[in-house]
């Protein structure tokens, strides 16, 4: 009998006082324990109503162990207490405990109700316990809850989470009065199974039913657009969000930023971003990562600096974005400054952050620092190993890359497709044809990995650079998938290197079919003709480009000085120190000639006078960047330059001599590889 319902009981007033106290809630768990102690002293511990309230309060404090202890001491728990416990365990991610409680409930002879099933089904879904879920479905039908919208929605989630999407759809179709939660459940089911187009179609169906989606539904369907790169549907959903007034919701707006960024429209992403009044760190991170991944690294760094001015501490995603941007620009100083905003242990214990830091150092030519981070990493997964293998390969440390691969095998970390991309890149950079063939063959023979188009592209590049153009061409023709522009482009690069104009013409036809809008293919063929002094044919190619309105991508170089990234184009005069830069170039030109340097004019691929060619060569963007760094940095500083195109042969030779004349170490990363100049030598092993 409940003492609360017996006014004659001497503890009645005290029981009412305890009830009011439990209803008001508690500021601390210690206060709650005091109230529980009073219940025990008053011998009210058999009053299930009071004990159920205590259980709820304990679970609100997420103290599941104390809650379980109270429940185990209850002699005759009823369905309300079981439901409280099951719901609380699920809410605290204790799914095994929730299922055990359900089993105990069934053994005690208590029949679950409409409140029990959704939470037990949720626990089954989170544990992917399909067998128990099916048994629960049978019981749902037997006890007459098969028309309850919340129970049926939980069944939709269960079947979808366990990979039975057809069954999930059947259950969804059988729900008589579908609500927004039901629609969201099936939409999330399709998204979780990778059926993003179907999820967007279901969202349309939701709107046609006259239902208004909540913020969670909108966030999920925008995620589907992001995964598809579906800008058209993303823009339509954006318009709907604005019409229904949900654009002010920070979670929805952040998802819009993310969607536009992943669809490559950074102007729209920035427009949405600027319209968010109270930006959280997630929103800033989405925008920074968007800039970094869409080829706008300088904008990513500018936005990161703005974020710091607003006193926001970067999270993991913002840091990965800014380190990626620094890696693209060779901005080591800025990257080190950003890194110091987080504790060192955050990098060493987080594989994602650690990988980004390794990638930064590797792409800035500071492989010793990258190696140091790799050795200190507390958790080394395949992604971390892949980053250091690729970094070593890019920096010309191919033997070390092979050694890390051996260590990876010894620690029984299974190599994946990206591992072999790094190994094959290393073979390509070092011209190790036999090793490349061996690694490529071992993918399928030893590791049961199917080579992807990236691996075929690496092999074609390796063979083509080595002059094995026929073998490279045969490999392309034997590919199990249709070759893309990267594969054909690798062969075309080999044709340029070895001056095989006939094969290059054939390759270019394939490239034009694949990318008729890409001016680079026309430029490369024109360069091949020019190198072979076939000026008329080169001019014909350039005329075709003009007729189609195509323009060659301009050479651009970046160099970081004191945390500021400076950009130079060929013949650039926009920099504030332009006068000093060109004075330095003239001084270097005199020193180079005295050292025996003669401009390699074959790299100016136009039919013009030799003197004019020499003049054009002296203004290349990488030379401007190096000259600027020489006049603005200390004598012992390493000069790091990043170029968007491949460094030309003349600049390669000139900068090699500049490093000797000035006694400076110069690292240049182009779109092809690293070039590390010191004492008049280049360790990249490149050939021209």
Strand, coil or helix: 600: coil
**pLDDT (tens digit per residue) in 678-687:** 877 776 544 3
Q: Are strands 666-669 and 639-643 parallel, antiparallel or unpaired?
A: parallel
- Which positions ≥6 away from 419 have C-beta within 8 Å? 382, 385, 386, 389, 405, 408
The position carrying tokens 């890409």 is 518
CA-to-CA separations, 134 to 121, 158, 184, in angstroms, rounded: 10, 9, 22
- Which positions ≥6 away from 483 have C-beta within 8 Å? 453, 456, 476, 510
**Stated pTM of the model:** 0.80
* Other Cβ atoms closer than 10 A to 489: 25
Q: Is the pLDDT of residue 206 over 90?
A: yes
**pLDDT (tens digit per residue) in 278-308:** 999 999 999 999 999 998 999 999 999 999 9
Looking at residue 688, what is its pLDDT? 36
Torsion angle (degrees, nearest 10) of CA 617, 622, 624, 630: -130
Q: Contact, 604 vs 617, CB < 8 A?
A: yes
CA-to-CA separations, 540 to 103, 152, 346, 507, 608, in angstroms, rounded: 81, 69, 57, 18, 16
Q: Is the pLDDT of residue 428 over 80?
A: yes
* Other Cβ atoms closer than 10 A to 379: 10
Rounded Cα–Cα distance for residues 335 and 323 (Å): 6
Among residues 214, 133, 155, the alpha carbon closest in space to that of 179 is found at 214
Q: Contact, 451 vs 444, CB < 8 A?
A: yes
DSSP assigned state of 251: H
Looking at residue 466, what is its pLDDT? 93
**pLDDT (tens digit per residue) in 510-535:** 987 888 777 777 777 777 777 777 88
Rounded Cα–Cα distance for residues 320 and 342 (Å): 12
Q: Contact, 388 vs 363, CB < 8 A?
A: no
Compute the chain's Rg from CA coordinates.
33
Between 74 and 475, residue with greater pLDDT: 475
Q: Contact, 558 vs 642, CB < 8 A?
A: yes
pLDDT (average), residues 364-389: 93
Rounded Cα–Cα distance for residues 558 and 63 (Å): 55
Looking at residue 149, what is its pLDDT? 93
The position carrying tokens 């104009």 is 501
**pLDDT (tens digit per residue) in 130-141:** 999 999 999 999
Relative orientation angle of helices 250-262 and 231-243, to the nearest 10 degrees: 160
pLDDT band at 46 (very low <50, low <70, confident <90, very high): confident
Backbone angles phi, psi at 280, to 5 degrees: -95, 180
Rounded Cα–Cα distance for residues 488 and 494 (Å): 10
Looking at residue 195, what is its pLDDT? 95
The position carrying tokens 């092993």 is 685
Structure tokens at 444: 């399928």
Among residues 289, 232, 280, 231, the alpha carbon closest in space to that of 260 is found at 231
Q: Contact, 192 vs 161, CB < 8 A?
A: yes
Looking at residue 34, what is its pLDDT? 76
Backbone angles phi, psi at 218, to 5 degrees: -65, -40
Structure tokens at 550: 């195509």
Rounded Cα–Cα distance for residues 343 and 425 (Å): 33
Which helix (DSSP H) or strand (DSSP E) does residue 75 occupy?
none
Among residues 638, 673, 451, the alpha carbon closest in space to that of 560 is found at 638
Rounded Cα–Cα distance for residues 374 and 370 (Å): 6
CA-to-CA separations, 552 to 526, 542, 612, 649, in angstroms, rounded: 11, 10, 20, 19
Torsion angle (degrees, nearest 10) of CA 568, 573, 579, 585: 50
Laid out side by side, the sheet with 564-569 consists of: 564-569, 556-561, 639-643, 666-669, 674-678, 681-682
């Amino acid at each position: 009998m409940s003492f609360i319902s017996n006014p004659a009981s001497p503890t009645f007033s005290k029981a009412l006082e305890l009830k009011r106290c439990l209803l008001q809630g508690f500021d601390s768990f210690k206060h709650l324990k005091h109230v529980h102690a009073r219940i025990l002293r008053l011998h009210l511990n058999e009053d299930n109503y009071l004990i159920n309230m205590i259980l709820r309060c304990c679970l609100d404090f997420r103290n599941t162990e104390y809650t379980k202890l109270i429940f185990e001491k209850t002699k005759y728990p009823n369905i309300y207490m079981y439901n409280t416990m099951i719901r609380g365990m699920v809410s605290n991610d204790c799914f095994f405990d929730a299922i055990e409680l359900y089993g105990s409930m069934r053994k005690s002879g208590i029949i679950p109700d409409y409140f029990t099933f959704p939470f037990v089904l949720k626990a089954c879904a989170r544990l992917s316990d399909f067998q128990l879920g099916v048994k629960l479905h049978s019981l749902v039908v037997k006890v007459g809850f098969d028309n309850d919208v919340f129970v049926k929605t939980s069944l939709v989630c269960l079947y979808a989470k366990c990979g039975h999407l057809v069954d999930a759809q059947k259950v969804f179709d059988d729900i008589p009065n579908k609500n927004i939660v039901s629609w969201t459940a099936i939409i999330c089911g399709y998204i979780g199974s990778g059926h993003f187009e179907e999820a967007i179609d279901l969202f349309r169906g939701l709107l046609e039913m006259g239902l208004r989606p909540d913020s969670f539904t909108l966030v999920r369907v925008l995620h589907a657009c992001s995964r598809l790169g579906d800008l058209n549907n993303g823009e339509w959903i954006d318009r709907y969000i604005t019409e229904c007034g949900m654009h002010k919701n920070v979670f929805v707006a952040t998802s819009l930023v993310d969607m536009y960024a992943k669809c490559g429209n950074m102007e729209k992403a920035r427009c949405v971003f600027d319209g968010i009044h109270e930006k959280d760190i997630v929103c800033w991170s989405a925008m920074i990562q968007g800039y970094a991944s869409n080829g706008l690294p300088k904008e990513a760094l500018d936005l990161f600096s703005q974020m710091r001015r607003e006193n926001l501490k970067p999270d993991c995603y913002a840091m990965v974005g800014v380190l990626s941007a620094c890696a693209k620009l060779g901005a080591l100083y800025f990257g080190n400054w950003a890194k110091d905003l987080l504790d060192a242990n955050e990098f060493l214990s987080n594989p994602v952050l650690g990988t980004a830091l390794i990638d930064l150092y590797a792409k800035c030519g500071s492989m010793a620092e990258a190696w140091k981070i790799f050795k200190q990493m507390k958790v080394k997964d395949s992604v971390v190993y892949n980053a250091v293998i690729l970094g070593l390969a890019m920096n010309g440390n191919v033997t070390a890359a092979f050694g890390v691969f051996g260590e990876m095998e010894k620690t029984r970390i299974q190599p994946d497709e990206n591992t072999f991309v790094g190994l094959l890149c290393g073979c390509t950079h070092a011209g190790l044809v036999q090793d490349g063939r061996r690694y490529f063959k071992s993918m399928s023979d030893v590791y049961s990995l199917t080579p992807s188009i990236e691996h075929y592209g690496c092999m074609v590049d390796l063979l083509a650079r080595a002059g094995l153009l026929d073998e490279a061409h045969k490999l392309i023709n034997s590919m199990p998938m249709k070759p893309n522009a990267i594969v054909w482009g690798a062969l075309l690069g080999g044709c340029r290197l070895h001056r095989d104009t006939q094969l290059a013409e054939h390759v270019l036809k394939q490239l034009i079919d694949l990318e008729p809008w890409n001016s680079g293919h026309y430029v490369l063929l024109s360069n091949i003709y020019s190198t072979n002094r076939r000026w008329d044919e080169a001019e014909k190619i350039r005329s075709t480009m003009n007729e189609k309105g195509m323009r060659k991508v301009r050479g651009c170089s970046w160099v970081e000085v004191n945390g500021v990234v400076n950009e130079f184009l060929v013949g650039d005069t926009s920099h504030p120190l332009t006068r000093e830069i060109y004075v330095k170039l003239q001084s270097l030109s005199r020193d180079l000639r005295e050292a025996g340097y003669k401009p390699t004019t074959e790299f100016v691929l136009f039919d013009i006078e030799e003197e004019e060619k020499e003049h054009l060569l002296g203004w290349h963007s990488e030379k401007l960047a190096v000259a600027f760094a020489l006049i603005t940095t200390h004598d012992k500083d390493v000069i790091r330059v990043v170029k968007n195109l491949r460094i030309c042969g003349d600049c390669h030779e000139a900068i090699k001599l500049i490093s000797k004349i000035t006694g400076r170490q110069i690292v240049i990363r182009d779109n092809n590889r690293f070039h590390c100049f010191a004492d008049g030598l280049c360790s990249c092993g490149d050939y021209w």
